[in-house]
Every structure is written in structure tokens, then in C-alpha cells.
Structure 1
Amino acid sequence: MTFPLMRPARVAAALAALSLVLSAPLVAQLPGEPVASGTDENGKPLRPPNLEPGEKTPWLYRGSNVPVDKEWTFGELSNGVRYAVRRNGVPPGQVSIRVRIDAGSMMETDAEQGFAHLLEHLTFRGSKYVPDGEAIRIWQRLGASFGSDSNAETTPTHTVYKLDLPAATPAGLDESMKILSGMIREPGLTAEAVTAEVPVVMAELRERSGAQVRVGDATRQLFFAGQKLAERSPIGKPETLNAATSPAVRAFHERWYRPENTVIVIAGDVEPATLEALIKTHYGDWKVKGKQAPYPGFGAPDPAKPVARAMVEPGFPYLVSMGILRPWKPVNDTIAYNQQLLIDLVATQLINRRLEGRARGGGSFLQAQVNAEDVSRSVDGTFVSIVPIGDDWQAALADVRGVLADATTTAPTPEEIAREMAEFDAALAVRVESAETEAGSKQADDIIGAVDIRETIAAPQTALDVFRGMTAMYTPERLLEATQRLFSGVTTRAILISPQAVPEAEKLLNTALTRDVTADASARLAAAAVTFDDLPDLGAPGKVTQVTDLRMLGIEMVELSNGVKAILYPNDAEVSKIMVKVRFGNGYQAFPADKPSLAWAGQAALVASGVGEIGQEGLDRLTNGRRIGFGFEIENDAFAFSADTRRSDLADQLKLLAAKLAAPRWDPNPVRRAKAGTELAYRSFSMSPQTVLERDLSYLTRNRDPRWKVPSPQDAAALTPEAFRATWEPLLAQGPIEVMLFGDFEKAEALAALEKTFGALPPRAAVPVVSGADSLTFPAPTAEPVVVRHEGAPDQAAAFLGWPTGGGIIDVQESRQLEILTAIFNSRLFDQLRAQAGASYAPQVLNNWPIAFDKGGYVGVIGQLAPENVGKFFDIANSIAADLAATPVSADELSRATEPLRQLVSRASTGNNFWLNQLQGATRDPRRISALRTILPDYTVTTPERMQALAAKYLVKDKAWSFVVLPEEAPAPTGR
């Protein structure tokens, strides 16, 4: 199983890992243990304990004693197709379909590299029931959006086709199942299709290449040397892709796309019997010739291969990655095996918490993390990544190895173990509480993930029961044994990435890996009890002075005696989850628009700086085992704290956020760490067109407003603990407070908690906007594109073309109509720039309409492409814009834009995040409430004439502004 990285004191990360923890994989084995036989001590086949006498073991649970999740219905067709279906009404009306083929890039021959991925592309072009290019249009008419509702993935070990069908009618569901079956069974692998699609895959390869990919490839080649995975990237190679022919791709399809290699998973708002019938109808008669091709061997780690490698990447910071490698061997999925996985997970979490504590306290590394992972049925490994501060990577590696040496020689304390167990217990308990509102798409993806790594799944309650039933197993001795096993293997390998050449780097790295180190126990975090009583006293509670019914879903606006206002929406749409958002001050409008500031440093260091006398480590202890969060972001017109919590933790969650405003702490270490991280990160922004877009798009499209400038090392030099406090201390004390509570809570309890926390704060006066800060502008038109350079490959470029629109709440209905126009634009751009020209893999059209500013919005077109195709990009984008302004769109094209938007809004409105985002700021500006009442028709009701009028109003060539990202030596384009 591939466990997500466990970061210290992060409930979300713990939940991500534990969501699959009762799904022990058949892809790893404890060293020295024999392959499990799937039998008990009496030699009888293992069998899930919750099956009735005579009940057949579902295919997913054979050889396992993990209890079956009986919400799923499992079945097998006579031809070998396996399936799993279940009823799930989250969101209402949606059906999530996944079709998995047990073939990825590892099944390719040397001459077929990239064929599994190319076949995925070709399958979407056309198939038995759909002409070339029509599948996407058909699903658009049914309300599905390509790329979000319909897509696919190819990995080293599988290919998965995905469809989330909103508002699935019986006819629409049947048609979709028919189309998918035709795609899988008989894709249109014509010579014409192959010729047309290979350039698209080549564009994807080009756009995704660069320094990050080179580093990933080099790491893979070192860690898996001698194994097939070392040379197998799903994207393939230019030489094999360019040599692809229809017969060659068809041969790969015939070899691997077979009933016995196919698993179909469906979770949706339909009876399981109906779903089973559809599977039998569309796959039951599928027959293929010949026998299943033998799976190629993936190999095992070879101790004779080199253990150290160095690589120079100018855009990268110094980075050391280590792998402790063990052979992959299959095991049976048993409760006992899962118990050991949980112990291993706690062991890695203990180490990560220590490493994070060292980094926070001013260690030699900015970040260091450990995770255990089984990779593509090739390696059972423990992986360590280290980002040094500055260029002394040897000191950072030595420091981390010292922490690891301590962990592998001395058992953890009972207090450390209890701390991690409380974290895991809370995460598993939340899964149980929220199981009824888990989305069907996630449940379908979980089954697919389990099949890929040969595992079972377990119901949330089963996972929690198993965890709580093994408390006695979490002894210091067993945790030490697990840690020692995790850091033992047949070989240890490491790669050093550096921005400049390091003399004798591989020799130095080899020496650093083998040099004796002293076990360093100083990273262990001493026990220290911290409770919510240690937070600063907030004063006398306030009182609710006014309650206003918004006459919308039972949502109310509340005002407290100190002027704090709150919006409350109690509901059970997401069981045991409450979204909390606290907005205050003026956000970006609190900073000048004409000179640099330290706005950028807030997200990096403000929360970590602590509360009262409690620093970041204390906050971790304070929230340990609780569902209490603490996020921070800067919005256009407010600062915002945010968290997800639950009813039992709501009062303390509000107290923590209120205490941050009342008595912020100013710990200097998070500021110093933020400064170091900023300086290191900036190097990477020039590596490729994509990273340049990430750095500059917001800044350039806001006419170089410094508030949206990514800080350079020179900017970071201005960040000191003193300057940080001078900037942020007054901002925390300014401006009215808006508290938003959306979710599963009792109104009376919430009001009482508000009165004791935010109601106890002193009154806050409105803060005037900084002069000029309420203004936002899009750049003025220029005859030639602005040119920005990147330091990556010479065959990579990017281009942007944008037209100014507007902003503000008054014309928000027009902004929603622009969403329809940009959807139409985007569909045409996809057809012409990708499907027909093969010039760009993922071009997109954006509608940016800032609600908090009365102007500064734009419609923008972005594409990554080869430098020689920049002119083609501008020609196509301008041609589409001109045609939209000159000619009304067809009724079908309009429907294919509005129906996915209708379904998107309808689905989103079943969750609290939608309502919270729409109503935030309503306590200051009631127009946001009235604007919400027309949201569905604004996005879905229009005419071809209205679209033409909008295009004629905004997509005016003489008003357009553009920029391009080019390689350093490429000539600048003339005109656009």
C-alpha cells in the first residue's frame, strides 16, 4: 500500500493515511516472513468473519479475514469481469463510474513505451458507439465536464477511466454505460486517430517535462536500478510514440484489454440491482481470443547497483532523497498484517514529529520527512527527503541521520506513543461520524485504489474497532522493532540535487551515508501538558443583540453586543462536520498598491507564531486528538482564519481563533523559517513556463500590483521578526469581525460559544482602506506581447491573451453569464488547439471577476506550447473571439456549456462550502445575499444573442493584452 506522507500533528494527513489503513496490500511483506498462504492455523482458507454460513466470499476478500464492507455488492461475470456497486446519494442524483484495466506502463515492451497512455487518449477520441471526437460532447449534453467529471489516468500498473455523471437519468446512465463499454472493448484505433493524437501526447510530454521531471526520473532510475520501473514512465518516450502505428497500438489493446483484467466500480444514487443489470448488459457478452499474456517480472532491488548519485539542476534548492529498499513480495490481507501496518505508521509519525520539531526550532534543515511506501509492486521502501537551509547539505543529512539513529536504538516513550494514538483515534472516529455523507466518487476511487495494490477495504467502523482493539500492542518495544525494520533493507540509496556542481559529490554523498553518527535524542519532544485553560482569558461574554432570518434555507445573521456579526447555517448535509471561517480586516486592501509590503509573509508565519504563551509545539499538543484546525489566508477584502471542526470541539475551536486575535504571540522562529523557505523556493520559479506562470500570472494580470508579486530573495531580505510583527500586529486588531458557521451544530450551543469567545472581544472600529488599495486594474493593451523568460527546455513556451472585463457585486450576474461564454470558448479552444492542431495539451480559458473590486477582471486564454506554435496560439484564440462576437452560437453548443454549469451548481449547492463562499462578506455588504438568489438562472439561462453581445462587448481585439513565456534564446514574437 502507498501511505500518504505523515506530517507531524496534522490531523488531515493522519486521516488520509488511515482512510486506507485497514486495507492491507498484497504488495508488501515483512522481511524474513514467508508468503502468507491465506489459511488459518488449521490450514483452512481465511474467511471474513461477518459472512453468513454458505455466503460466498466476495472476490475482493479472498484469502482475507478482514470483515466485508456490506454496503458494497460484489460480483463476477462468467467472462471474468469483476465489479463492485453500491447505493450512494452524495451528491444527490450523481453516479460515479470507474473502469479499471490491469495494465499500465509496466506491461509495455521496450518498443511500446507510452502506448498504455496513448491508448487512454485514443479511447476518448472515438469508439464503437461514438464517432471521433464526439464522446466529450455527448457527456457535456448530459451535464458532465471533461477533465473533472470525465477523465482517465495511466500509471505503471493500471489504466482507469472515470465518469461522474450528474443527475443521471435511466436513459443517460444506460447510454453512458454503453459508450464506456464501447471505449473499453472497441476503441477507434484507426491510423488517422493515431496520427492525430500522437502530437497531443507529445504536447503533454513537452509541457510536463522540465527540471522537476528530470529530478523525478533521475531519482527513479537510481532507486529502482535494475528494475523495470527505473525506465518506465507512463508518458513514454518520443521515439516510441512517434513510431506508434494503428496495428501496434491495437496489439497492446488486444493483449491487455480483456474481461479478466477489467474491474468496474459504480457508486451512485441508483439501486445496486440496476447497476448490476447495466454491467451485465454491456459487458456480459464481451469475449476475446487467446489466453491472457503473462505479466512481465518487475524485478527486485539489486544491492550491486550504485547507491549514490549527484545531479545539478540550477533551479532547484539543495535536496537529498534517500531510499531504504526491500524486495516487494505478495502477502495476504489479514487483520494481523493490518495491525502491523498501523504500528509502522505510528513509528513513522513519531519520527516525522521529531524532525518537524527540530526544523521549527532552528535546525540545519528547512524540512525533513519520512514515509514508508510500496511502489508499483517493485519495492517495499522507506523514503527520506531533506531540504537543507543554505548549501550545507552534509550537516543537514548528518542531523537527520542522528535523529534516525536515536529512533532505531532507543524505544519511544509511552507519552509519545499516546500522543500519536490519540491523533489516529480522532481521525478514524471522524471517518465513522462522517461516513453517511462521504461522496460516492471517493468511495469508487477507494475501491479502484484497493484493487490496484491488491488490497481489501474496510468500513470506517471496522477500522476504528480494529485500532481500538489493539491498544495493548503499542508498546515501546514493538514500536522500536517496527522502526528498526523500516530502516533496514537490502540497500540504501541516495541522490543529491544541487543548484551548482559539488566537487566529488557522489563520493561525499556515499561517505555521508556510511559515516557513523551519534544518536541524537535532543529532537525528542518532552512531555508538556497544554490545555485550553492555558489560552489567554478573553474577558466577560457578550450577548446576542439581533438575529435576522435571511429567508434562505434557515440561514440566519446574528449580531453580538460588541459588533461582531455571524452567519449561521445549521444543517446535516455533512454529518459531524462544521466549517468555520472568521473574516476580519481588509485583506489585500490593507496593503499599498504602489510599493512592496510583507503581505506575503502572513500565510507562512502568522499561525505558526503562536497564541499567548503557547507556541507552535504547544498548539499541536493543545489540539492533539481533536478535530480543530487553524488555517489562514488573505482575501481581496478580508483576512480569514478557517477550520473544519465538529460539534464537540466547536467551543474550543472558536476560543482558539478568538484568542489569536486577542493575544497573538510573536515567536521569531517561524518567521526565520518562512524567510529561508521563501529564498529557496524562488529559485524554482524560472525552471519552466509552468512555474513562471505560477509566479507571474496574478502579478502581471493585475498590472504588476506588488501585493500579488511572489517575493524574491531581495524581498525576503526585508523579513525580520521585528518587521513581521510591526506589519501584522495592528492588522490583527483592525476591522469588523464576521464569523461563519456552516454545518452540523445546534444553534443554541453555537450562540453560547460565540458569546463566550468572539463576543468577549473588545469592539473593533471599521478601518479605512489604504489609499488606492481598493483599486485593481488589468494592463493596458500593447501592440506586442510582454516577454518573460524561463530557464528550462528550449522547446517549451507559454502564452496568455486576455481582455479586460469588470468587477464588483453590482454586475455579478454579468460575470456569471461570462462563465457560460468562457465555457464555450474553452470547448472551441480545446477542439482547435489540442484536438485538431495538437499544439497544446491543456489550454484553458479563465473568467476572473473580482467581487471585492469594481474593476480589474478579465477573460484570459492560456496555453503551454512549443515556441514555434506561439503565433498559432494567438491566431486561434483571436479567431475564436472574433467569431463569438460576429456569430451567435448554436443551440447545441450553448446547451453543452450550460448543462454542465447547471449540474455543477446543483451539485455544489448540496454542500456547505458553496453557501459559505457565496455568503462570505454579507455582514458588510447585504447585496451578496440578494445576488445569491439568482445564481442558478444566471449560470444556466441565456440565449445565443446574449452570448454574442457579451463577446462583442468584451472580446475586443484592440483592448487585449498578452504576454509570452519563452526560452532564454528564443526570439520574441511580433504581433499577436
Structure 2
Amino acid sequence: MSFRLRCLWPGLIIFLAACQPVSSPGPESAATTPDLLPLDSSIVTGQLDNGLTYYIRPNRKPENRVELRLVVNAGSILEREDQQGLAHLVEHMAFNGTTHFPKQKLVDYLERIGMRFGADVNAYTSFDETVYMLEVPTEEETYIDTGLQVLRDWAGDVAFEPEEVDKERGVVKEEWRLGRGADARLRDKTLPVMVKDSRYAVRLPIGQPEVLDTARYETLTDFYHTWYRPDLMAVVVVGTIDPGRMESAIRMLFSDLKNPDPEKPRVLYPVPDHDEPLTVVATDPEAAYTVLQWIVKQPSREQGSRESYVSDLRERLFTSMFSNRLDELRQKPDSPFLYSYTAAGPLVRTKDAFQLVTLVKEGKIESALETLAREVERVRRYGFTATEFERAKKKMIRSYEQALKEADKTESRSLAAELIRHFLTAEPVPGIAYETALVKEVLPRLTLEEVNALADQLMSRKNTVLAVTGMDKAGLTYPAGDELLAVRERVLAESIDPYVDRVSEAPLVAYLPPGGSIVAEDRIDAIDAYVWTCANGVRVCAKPTDFKNDQILFTAFSPGGGSLVPDDRFIQAVYATGIVTAGGAGTFDRIQLEKKLSGKVVSVRPYMDDLWEGFEGSSSREDLTTLFQLIWLYGTEPRKDSTAFLSYRQRVLDVVSHHHLQPEAAYRDSITALVNGHHIRARFPSEEDIRSLDLDQAFQIYRDRFADFDDFTFVFVGSFDPDTLRTL
């Protein structure tokens, strides 16, 4: 059980809202849209007379399991002043006794049929919704029936026995206490600016300790009876079930639920606009990293229509290309970024956001903002290039094609989550076949000009917020808000060159050696696997499976690893494979290699640990040849790139320098070092270790361990044809 805060930024709690309520149109409002996308025909849906909505979807992954959800379109945003934290407490109380499951009986029953809290039984409370989740075995029909009865009890028959309420107050308060780390403290400093005059700022799901301590029982049950009502609820059932039987069971169990009279309107709170940029700079002694966030709030787009779906495709193409630009900048030796990403999408129910998020090197805030602002302005002035656009479209189409191939392997949990979003926000659920066809129809018609035109909207001055969070320590200073704005204004006056898209037209592998031969073959009948020994000594184990329709996983290993390297060169061995992959492979640097592989479903990563070296990765059937080419390149033509090495070493140094700032990491590292006598092979690397990294030494170790494959064993598992794999 938990509370959930909806945000797009990792590691930071940033929330947006507004101060003036408006009536909620409800998820059914999208039905008035003329070009509404259809609901997947495999879904059985309906609405009871009391307003409760249900969704039933047969699915066989995993087998003999069914996912049950009770979705309540109400959360902490609806609490009164004297109810702050009670939405979350209601969620907890649902597990502490209901009409049919007094006190501990519910927990006892769920554990008796093999369900585990956290994995199979859970719930969360967010600003705008509360969701209860069960995964129930289907070996006996009574398990599903009882699971639905549990949902019914949660919907209208939670007991709220006073002694149980008092016990649970302490549990929720402990969750609050455990959440008061650096992130929470930074949130307290940034939230008033980020959500200026917002109701969301004062309705965090975890609530207020003093309210949890003193709230009357009637105040708690009043929230439950006001907002836990059928016209704000949905029941979701996905798994190995009979849809007709489930529909009858839902109608029988949930039809007696009543809406309160009178009903309080379910209101939404819009996020206020602001013409001038807002800034906030916040520090904390335990903050592990410096983070720069650039957010531009956008009008919330109505979900469910063809038009909104196409608009979403445009934004996804835009953010994909911009993310790639930032990743190129990250890989430069003088880059102020450790990590960056771009996102566009819902922030809260009534506001979307375009966001640029960067993990910044210590003391490089102004440099990072300058780099970010320059790239924003470059896109505003010149847009993206045709080659970038084609790669982005190719990658998007391929992702839909792969999803379609795996349609019957989709996990029920994922499908249930999709239906929850459909109920709450009208996210379209037409099915992956429909979506793939739509994308293939629409994407070729989208023009670069219309995607580039999004720059003025997504990167406007209006509704912009610049936020900086970082560590508070002696000697480290941060720019003030007006200094951040000055950096941005300074970049606007610069002369900026257009982006040049460096793309190599050379083949991935210019020359392949003559094919080898298989000198011995064997079968492991017990697991239906093939074993081939090649003339060069390589041993291949191949096990065809049908867990996925188009996925091939592999690992390769050879004995040795760092154990064959003397202690004084061990740190070079630890980072050798990272240094090599940072440089690319063959004639392609890392950036060009990523562009070359765009639109392919393939990955290969060399690795080296204490005792082994090898490769691991995956591919689709279509890209299996490319997978073998990458293995060949990393084995025979690793690329030595001094510029990439300097960038990689600096990024690792920055990560290591911040590692000990995390209390849990410092504690864990201290114990490990003491137990192992501070031996270099067991302790966490120091900054001095990272500064000692040497390109030539690391490359020599890599060459030595990957010089030939005569003692390598390759293991392939997945949806391949053994004869095709054998030939390759």
C-alpha cells in the first residue's frame, strides 16, 4: 500500500495544479468527439444503473491468473482542510476489515491462496485517484468470485472499526516519517514556486501528521462515503476468464451500491498560467545530485480522438529528436550533463507539460543551462533535419510493429493499467492492431515542417519554470533566479549555427571473414536444446522458446575476467568494456553507431566481471544478422577513441564523487570495505581510482580478454529457427 505522486521527473517530487475548481467532465465526455477512436473489440464494457463502469478483457499472459482492479476517481485533491491525509488512510483501512472480511480475515485469506502483499495485492492513493489491485489465481473459480467480493467490500463496506483506525494512524505516520528525506525537503522548498497558488501544493497524498493524529472517525468516514461512490468507480478484470460470467458477477455484486444524495460535484483544478518565467533554486545537505529542470506547461489535450492521437505522435517525434540531440551533447568531453531526457505529456489532469531534465555536473549549472538554452534556440530557429526526422519515424513504426507481434504475449497487468487510464483520462484503447495501422497510415503524411512548428508552442516563454536542486555544502554556490534568466536571455542574442547531422553511409561491417564450420553437434533432450561446437572452439547452446513471438536473448561467457589482471591494473579491467563501448565499434563512433542502428531492434553489450568476460544482448528475428555483426565488431574491431574516453571518464568521476553522498550507499560501502579489508577488488572505486583510468591500458586488457573466442560459450534463447541460427 502506498501513496503516489504523479510527475514526469525522476527522483524529485514536483507537482502542479491550480486554485479555481471547475466541474469535471468525467471520462465519458470524450464520447462526444466526432472522430473518437474505437474501443478494442476484445473488451467487454458497460455501465450499471448506478453509474459504475466495468471493463472485462480476456488475456492469457500469465496463464491461470486474473488481474482485478477497483478504480476510484478520487484522491487527496478532494480532501477538506480537516481531512488532509485521510484519502490515504481510507486506502489503508480497506485492508483492516470489511463486512465479509472482519479485521485480519482479508489478509489471512489472500495469503492462504498464495497472494503476496506488494506483488499480488497492493493499492495506491494519488492526487486524483485511488486504485486497489489484486492478482488472483484461477485454478478455482471461487478465487475469482471471492476476489470480486473483496473489491465490492472495498467499494462500499469498509468497516472503520475505531481500534483499527487508531492502529493504522501510526502506520501512515511512519510512512510520512520515512518519506522525509532530501527529496521531500527539496519538494517543500520548490513546490510553492512550481505550483504557485495551487491546491495541489496543500493536498499531498501523505497528508499532515497533525490531521492523522486528531481527525475524528466521522471525518474519516465522511470522506469515504462522499467520494467512494459508484459513479466515480470502475471495476477492471483482465486475465484467463469467461467474459460473460464476469459481467454477470459484476452486475450481481455491484448493482446495489448507491450514490449519496445529494452528491458533491467531482471538481478538477486547473493549473494557472503565467506570462513571465518562474525560477526556484533549492539545496539540501543530503541531495546526491544537481538537477536542472526546464518545464513549459501546456494546455491539457483531450484524449480519445484521432486528432489528439496524431498530435501525440507529432510531440513524440519532437521529443525523440530533441532527446537524441541532448544525448549527443552529453557524450562530449566538456559536456556539463551527466544525463538528460526530454518528455511531453500529462502532468496533472488539467495540464500537460514539455520538460527538459538534466543531471548536471557539480558547479556547472550556468554552463548546463546555457547549453540547454542554446539547443532549444537552435531548434526554434532551424528545426530538425530531414535525416533526423526519417530516423525518428522509422524507430516509431518499428516499435509499433514489435508491439503488434507481441500482442498475445502482453501481460494482463499492463492491459489493466491501460484500462485504468482509459477510465480516468479517456486515453484511447483501440488495440495495438488498430494503432499500428493508424500509425502506418498517418506517419508518412506527417511533414517535418509541422513537427518543427511545435517548437514555438513547446518551448515558449509563457508558462516556463526553471528549477535547480542540489547539495548544500561549503564552497559550492548556485546561481540566483535572476542569473538563470539572464543566461537564457544572453543565449537568445547569440549567433547559433544550424545542427549538422553526421551520418555514415558505410556498411556496418565492411568485411566479413569466410564462414566457419560446425565440428560437433549434440542435443539436450530434457530441455529441447541444441549444442554446437564450432571449428574455432566456440560452443553454442540454443534453446527455442515461445515466451515471446519475436525476441531472441543471448549471453556469452569466457572464464578469466578481472581475475587474470594484477591488482594494480584491476580498476582498468573494471571499466574496460565501458570505455570500449563509449568509443563505438568498427568505423563508427558511438553516436554514428546509434544512428546506424536506428529502427532496428538489437543490442549487444560486452562485459567483464571478476571471473568472466563476455557479451549479452537481444534482437528480433529480422535483426539477428545485425546482432552477429555487432558481436564481431566488438570482438575484432573495438574502436579506440580518446575523445570518447575523456568524456566517459569524466562522467564516471562525477558519478563516483556523488556516490558517497547517499547515506545508504556510504553505509553499505563502509561495511563492504571493512569485511574485505579495503581490498581494491571488493571496495567501491574512489575518485583517485577513476582519475587513474588509462585508455591504452584498458584497451590492452580488453583486447587480451576478447582477442579470440576459442573458449567462449554462447547461449541463445528465444523465438528463432534453429536451422537459421545454425547457418549464421
User: Is TM-score (shorter-chain normalized) higher than 0.5?
Assistant: yes
Instruction: Tell whether the 8 Å contact from 1:359 to 1:365 is kept in structure 2 after alignment.
Output: yes
**Gaps in structure 2 of 5+ consecutive residues:** 1-5, 11-15, 18-24
Aligned twin of 1:715: 689
Instruction: Tell whether the 8 Å contact from 1:326 to 1:489 is kept in structure 2 after alignment.
Output: no
Aligned twin of 2:612: 638
Q: Give the 3 Å change call, closer, same or farther, for CA 590–376 of structure 1 in structure 2.
A: farther
Question: Relative to structure 2, which stretch is displaced further, 260-269 or 592-601?
Answer: 592-601
Aligned twin of 2:164: 193
Q: Give deviations 1:546-583, integer Å, cap 9, x for gaps.
A: 23222224122222222211221113221112122222
Q: Distance in 2 between matches of 1:134 and 1:197?
A: 16
Q: Give the 3 Å change call, closer, same or farther, for CA 325–560 of structure 1 in structure 2.
A: same
- Pick from 415, 422, 427: which aligns with 1:443? 415
SS of the equivalent of 1:140 reads helix
- Pick from 702, 705, 715: which aligns with 1:740? 715
Aligned twin of 1:133: 104
- Pick from 477, 480, 504: which aligns with 1:528? 504
1:377 aligns with 2:342: no
What is the percentage of aligned positions where both structures have the same residue? Answer: 20
Q: How does 1:126-165 map to 2 (within 5 A)?
A: 126-165=97-136
TM-score by length of 2: 0.89
Instruction: Tell whether the 8 Å contact from 1:59 to 1:75 is kept in structure 2 after alignment.
Output: no
Q: Give the 3 Å change call, closer, same or farther, for CA 449–669 of structure 1 in structure 2.
A: farther
Query: 1:395 corresponds to which letter in structure 2?
Result: S
Question: Relative to structure 2, which stretch is displaced further, 89-98 or 288-297?
Answer: 288-297
Q: Distance in 2 between matches of 1:303 and 1:4?
A: 20
Aligned twin of 2:594: 620
Q: Distance in 2 between matches of 1:475 and 1:412?
A: 11
Instruction: Tell whether the 8 Å contact from 2:673 to 2:682 is kept in structure 1 after alignment.
Output: yes
Q: How does 1:330-369 map to 2 (within 5 A)?
A: 331=302, 333-366=304-337, 367-369=339-341
SS of the equivalent of 1:171 reads helix
Query: 1:386 corresponds to which letter in structure 2?
Result: T
Query: 1:311 corresponds to which letter in structure 2?
Result: A
Instruction: Tell whether the 8 Å contact from 1:402 to 1:519 is kept in structure 2 after alignment.
Output: no
- Pick from 201, 225, 228: which aligns with 1:230? 201
Query: 1:355 corresponds to which letter in structure 2?
Result: L
1:541 aligns with 2:512: no
Q: Distance in 1 between matches of 2:381 and 2:91?
A: 49
Q: Give the 3 Å change call, closer, same or farther, for CA 66–381 of structure 1 in structure 2.
A: same
SS of the equivalent of 2:102 reads coil
Query: 1:607 corresponds to which letter in structure 2?
Result: T
- Pick from 402, 410, 414: which aligns with 1:430? 402
SS of the equivalent of 1:463 reads helix
Q: Distance in 1 between matches of 2:252 and 2:568?
A: 65
Aligned twin of 1:177: 148
Aligned twin of 2:54: 83
Question: Relative to structure 2, which stretch is displaced further, 684-693 or 432-441?
Answer: 684-693
Q: Distance in 2 between matches of 1:247 and 1:596?
A: 65
Q: Give the 3 Å change call, closer, same or farther, for CA 453–680 of structure 1 in structure 2.
A: farther
Q: Distance in 1 between matches of 2:684 and 2:203?
A: 36
- Pick from 559, 571, 581: which aligns with 2:533? 559
TM-score by length of 1: 0.67
Q: Distance in 2 between matches of 1:406 and 1:306?
A: 20
Q: Distance in 2 between matches of 1:169 and 1:704?
A: 55
Instruction: Tell whether the 8 Å contact from 1:126 to 1:132 is kept in structure 2 after alignment.
Output: yes
Question: Relative to structure 2, which stretch is displaced further, 502-511 or 547-556?
Answer: 502-511
Q: Distance in 1 between matches of 2:608 and 2:78?
A: 47
- Pick from 505, 514, 535: which aligns with 2:489? 514
Q: CA deviation at 1:141?
A: 2.0
Q: Give the 3 Å change call, closer, same or farther, for CA 5–300 of structure 1 in structure 2.
A: closer
Q: Distance in 1 between matches of 2:31 and 2:523?
A: 52
Q: Distance in 2 between matches of 1:166 and 1:97?
A: 11
Q: Give deviations 1:87-119, integer Å, cap 9, x for gaps.
A: 111111111112111112222223322222222
Query: 1:364 corresponds to which letter in structure 2?
Result: S
Q: How does 1:699-848 map to 2 (within 5 A)?
A: 706-733=680-707, 736-753=711-728
Q: How does 1:633-712 map to 2 (within 5 A)?
A: 633=607, 637-682=611-656, 684-686=658-660, 689-692=663-666, 706-712=680-686
Q: Give the 3 Å change call, closer, same or farther, for CA 750–612 of structure 1 in structure 2.
A: same
**Gaps in structure 1 of 5+ consecutive residues:** 7-26, 29-36, 39-56, 754-976
Query: 1:142 corresponds to which letter in structure 2?
Result: I
Q: Give the 3 Å change call, closer, same or farther, for CA 701–171 of structure 1 in structure 2.
A: farther
Q: How does 1:47-62 map to 2 (within 5 A)?
A: none
Q: Give the 3 Å change call, closer, same or farther, for CA 527–696 of structure 1 in structure 2.
A: same
Query: 2:458 corresponds to which letter in structure 1?
Result: L
Q: CA deviation at 1:708?
A: 4.6
Instruction: Tell whether the 8 Å contact from 2:562 to 2:574 is kept in structure 1 after alignment.
Output: no
Q: Give the 3 Å change call, closer, same or farther, for CA 197–710 of structure 1 in structure 2.
A: farther
Q: Distance in 2 between matches of 1:709 and 1:541?
A: 44
Question: Relative to structure 2, which stretch is displaced further, 399-408 or 522-531?
Answer: 522-531
Instruction: Tell whether the 8 Å contact from 1:127 to 1:188 is kept in structure 2 after alignment.
Output: yes
Q: How does 1:464-475 map to 2 (within 5 A)?
A: 464-475=436-447
Q: Give deviations 1:41-83, integer Å, cap 9, x for gaps.
A: xxxxxxxxxxxxxxxx999856352132111111111111111
Q: Distance in 1 between matches of 2:159 and 2:686?
A: 50
Question: Relative to structure 2, which stretch is displaced further, 254-263 or 624-633?
Answer: 624-633
Q: Distance in 2 between matches of 1:693 and 1:127?
A: 42
Q: Distance in 2 between matches of 1:595 and 1:412?
A: 45
Aligned twin of 2:428: 456
Q: Give the 3 Å change call, closer, same or farther, for CA 123–419 of structure 1 in structure 2.
A: same
Query: 2:723 corresponds to which letter in structure 1?
Result: A
SS of the equivalent of 2:582 reads coil
SS of the equivalent of 1:546 reads strand
Q: Distance in 2 between matches of 1:73 and 1:696?
A: 56
Q: Give deviations 1:714-739, integer Å, cap 9, x for gaps.
A: 33222243343244332333772221
Q: Give deviations 1:136-158, integer Å, cap 9, x for gaps.
A: 33222212221111111222121
Q: Give the 3 Å change call, closer, same or farther, for CA 319–506 of structure 1 in structure 2.
A: same
Query: 1:486 corresponds to which letter in structure 2?
Result: L
Instruction: Tell whether the 8 Å contact from 2:138 to 2:144 is kept in structure 1 after alignment.
Output: no
Aligned twin of 1:392: 364
Q: Distance in 1 between matches of 2:603 and 2:340?
A: 23
Query: 2:230 corresponds to which letter in structure 1?
Result: P
Instruction: Tell whether the 8 Å contact from 2:7 to 2:347 is kept in structure 1 after alignment.
Output: no
Q: CA deviation at 1:353?
A: 0.9
Q: Give deviations 1:327-374, integer Å, cap 9, x for gaps.
A: 44x625211221121111111111111111122123432233221122
Q: CA deviation at 1:705?
A: 5.6
SS of the equivalent of 2:42 reads coil
Q: Give deviations 1:233-282, integer Å, cap 9, x for gaps.
A: 32223222233443222111111111111111111111111221222232
Q: Give the 3 Å change call, closer, same or farther, for CA 310–94 of structure 1 in structure 2.
A: same
RMSD of aligned Cα (Å) = 3.1
Q: Distance in 2 between matches of 1:186 and 1:486?
A: 46
Q: CA deviation at 1:700?
A: 6.5
Q: Which has the higher contact order (CA 8 A, sep 6+)?
A: 2
Instruction: Tell whether the 8 Å contact from 1:310 to 1:497 is kept in structure 2 after alignment.
Output: yes
Aligned twin of 2:21: none
Q: Give deviations 1:627-676, integer Å, cap 9, x for gaps.
A: 11134555664334322321111122122123212221222344333333
Q: Give the 3 Å change call, closer, same or farther, for CA 587–232 of structure 1 in structure 2.
A: farther
Aligned twin of 1:286: 257
